[in-house]
Amino acid sequence: MDDSLLDAVRSGDLRALSRAISKVEGHGETTGLEPAPRLIGITGPPGAGKSTLISAMIATLRDRGETVAVLAVDPSSPVTGGALLGDRIRMQSHIDDSGVYIRSMATRGHLGGLAPATGAAAGLLSAAGFDHVIVETVGVGQSEVEVMALAGVVVLVVGPGWGDQVQADKAGIVEVADVFVVNKGDRPGVVEVKRALQETADARDARVLVTTATTGEGVDDLLAEIDRRLP
């Protein structure tokens, strides 16, 4: 990649950042940049409220005056090959905030929860100087373990109806998480899911937390736990 473009990325030029990510995503260009060790991975099944929780995390971090970049990995459109859920409706309240950068990436048929260019794009976001870089996996199943190699901390988000599934899933994303979050904490079933996750969490020195992303409840505790685990 052209050094002048990388220099513009490092200076905080968001247009240059977008161009650079497009180059690594669409053309496979390399940068030689590595993601910062403070990268946060958010994974979990569909319907758990990952995007809503990330939006709540962004709001809290911005209240602290810290900047945030999000890479949201989405399924690919069978027509265009682009990110199928690229509008990221639940994060749109931050769209005009210059301290927030949100980018959707298509999996392009890649398995493992990430897109082929996710690592390179995360390196660019780190070089751009964001205080926090969050990667949200595609959220399609238990095979989403690639995020463990990329992120400094992995947060598994599940919903209150996931209790029976926890008992069956002793591999995959349940075993790569550093923090378990039972979201939608105002709904029935939360206690049962938290109890089902506790055994796995204890074996991994992980934490089980409860959040209600729509109100922000529990988000401060989640960020404190993330900070505790990151360098």
**Is the residue at 168 inside a domain?**
yes
Does 86 map to a domain? yes
- Pairing outcome for strands 132-136 and 153-158: unpaired
By residue count, the chain amounts to: 231
- 67 found inside a domain: yes
Instruction: Tell me whether residue 61 is in a domain.
Output: yes
DSSP state of 29: -
CATH number of the CATH domain containing 149: 3.40.50.300
pLDDT in tens, the chain (231 residues): 889 999 999 999 999 999 999 998 887 788 889 888 889 999 888 888 998 999 999 999 999 999 999 998 875 433 334 444 544 555 677 878 889 999 988 765 444 446 678 888 999 999 999 999 999 987 655 445 677 778 899 999 999 977 666 555 544 567 778 999 999 999 998 998 898 888 888 888 899 999 999 999 999 999 999 999 997
* Residue 151 included in any domain: yes
Q: Give me the pLDDT at residue 87, please.
A: 40
CA distances from 169 to 44, 122, 179, 196 (A): 12, 29, 16, 11
**Total structural domains in the chain?**
1
> So what's the pLDDT on residue 176?
77
3-state secondary structure of 193: helix
Q: Give the pLDDT score at 77.
A: 39
Q: Is residue 20 part of a domain?
A: no
Q: What is the pLDDT of residue 179?
A: 94
Pairing outcome for strands 68-74 and 132-136: parallel
pLDDT at 200: 80
- pTM (two decimals): 0.85
User: Do the domain assignments include residue 14?
Assistant: no
Residue 81 lies in a domain: yes
Which residue in this structure is represented by tokens 């049962």?
Answer: 192
Structural domain including 193 reads 34-229
Q: What are the C-alpha distances in Å from 104 to residues 27, 72, 98, 147?
A: 16, 5, 17, 16
